[in-house]
Amino acid sequence: MSDPYAHGHHESVLRSHEWRTIANSAAHLEPLLRPGLSVLDVGAGPGTITVELAERVAPGEVVGVDASAEVVAKAAALAAARGVTNLSFRVGDAYRLDAPENAFDVVHVHQVLHHLSRPIDALREFRRVVRPDGVVSVREVDYEGTFWYPHSAGLDEWLDVYCRMHRGLGGEPASGRRLKAWARAAGFADITATASQWLFTTPEDRAWWGGMWADRALQSAFAEHALTQGVTDQDGLQRISDAWREWAADEDGWLVMPHAEVLARS
Ligand SMILES: C[S@@+](CC[C@H](N)C(=O)[O-])C[C@H]1O[C@@H](n2cnc3c(N)ncnc32)[C@H](O)[C@@H]1O
């Protein structure tokens, strides 16, 4: 991997990534999907969105690429279990895709650019491999714009620690608000910019999202990077974990993560 990956692939991280679908993470692209399109999914992770993309565009061919061999194997196993045959996964790098120019109708990217130190270079690479009449679809979170209720000093601490740790690795936690500018800088002429959010407030969603972050705060690469960088200490991680459990248990609990999208054409 060319840049360090802030989250890693601990089970608590994959718990979040495996929840993702076209409906909750790629609705902006959905109206453009039709049978026969070829699709490249860059930074496909465990592949839950990729598998759905393959189902929508069959018999079009879909390729999922990720820098982590471990997560590529997981995604391939998911495709096999779902019986999806127009889909393959391989290890690859967003900056140097193993594909010729004009190879795909759609390049799909979900929550990857915020981990890259050179997001504009990656967008230029996506532009190289998409057909002249194709579309590059990118959706990026804006961590710094996350807001919640009720007030929680522990969640304030989480956001501060997360953003400092992520920037320490060369990523940009407030990518969403920059995405349109990055697409313009990469040379796309026709850009449709939209926004959407993830909302967690039902008891089930709070238990799942809050429980996941309570675990991630103590066990995932987030914890390791934050400790290594000296952004917080073990007591700080424990406060963050406890704050997530408290928020999840509160019936008034409500949290929104804003996301930006672009549909970019040459
Ligand atoms: C937040 S996950 C998103 C996964 C998937 N797109 C989803 O939304 O479920 C980011 C993924 O990007 C991958 N990644 C990070 N840097 C990459 C790079 N330079 N090239 C390809 N993949 C990369 C990570 O391994 C990780 O699986």
Alpha helices in the chain (DSSP H): 11-17, 22-25, 48-57, 69-81, 119-129, 153-168, 179-185, 203-219, 221-228, 234-249
Q: Residue 212 is encoded by which pair of tokens? A: 């996941």
| pLDDT for position 16 | 77
Ligand 1 mean position, distance from CA 5 (Å)? 8
| pLDDT for position 7 | 73
pTM: predicted TM-score of the whole model, two decimal places: 0.95
Task: Measure the CA–CA gap between 189 and 67, rounded to whole angstroms.
Answer: 29
Q: Which of 115, 143, 198, 212 should be mutated for ligand 1, with most atoms under 8 A from CB?
A: 115
Ligand 1 mean position, distance from CA 89 (Å)? 13
| pLDDT for position 9 | 76
Ligand 1, residue 71: give the atom nearest the CA.
Answer: 27
- 137-162 pLDDT, tens digit per residue, is 999 999 999 999 999 999 999 999 99
- For residue 191, which phi and psi values (nearest 5 degrees)? -125, 120
Ligand 1 contacts CB of residue 44 (under 6 A): yes
Ligand 1, residue 2: give the atom nearest the CA.
Answer: 19
Ligand 1 contacts CB of residue 115 (under 6 A): yes
Q: Which domains does the chain have, with CATH numbers?
A: 11-265 (3.40.50.150)
Ligand 1 contacts CB of residue 74 (under 6 A): no
Ligand 1 contacts CB of residue 111 (under 6 A): yes
> CA 174 → CA 116, 166, 179, 183, distances in Å?
12, 10, 9, 15
Instruction: Classify residue 202 by its DSSP letter.
Output: S
| pLDDT for position 252 | 98
What does 113-129 look like in DSSP terms, one character per residue?
A: GGG-S-HHHHHHHHHHH
Ligand 1 contacts CB of residue 26 (under 6 A): no
| pLDDT for position 1 | 56
Residue of minimum CA distance from atom 14 in ligand 1: 43
Give first-to-last CA distance, the chain, whole Å: 27
For the chain, which ranges sit under pLDDT 70?
Answer: 1
Question: Would residue 47 be called left, alpha or beta, if left means φ above 0 and alpha means ψ between -120 and 50 degrees?
Answer: left
Ligand 1 contacts CB of residue 43 (under 6 A): yes
Task: Measure the CA–CA gap between 259 and 108, rounded to whole angstroms.
Answer: 15
Ligand 1 contacts CB of residue 72 (under 6 A): no
Q: Can you state the angle between helices 234-249 and 221-228, rounded to 10 degrees? A: 140
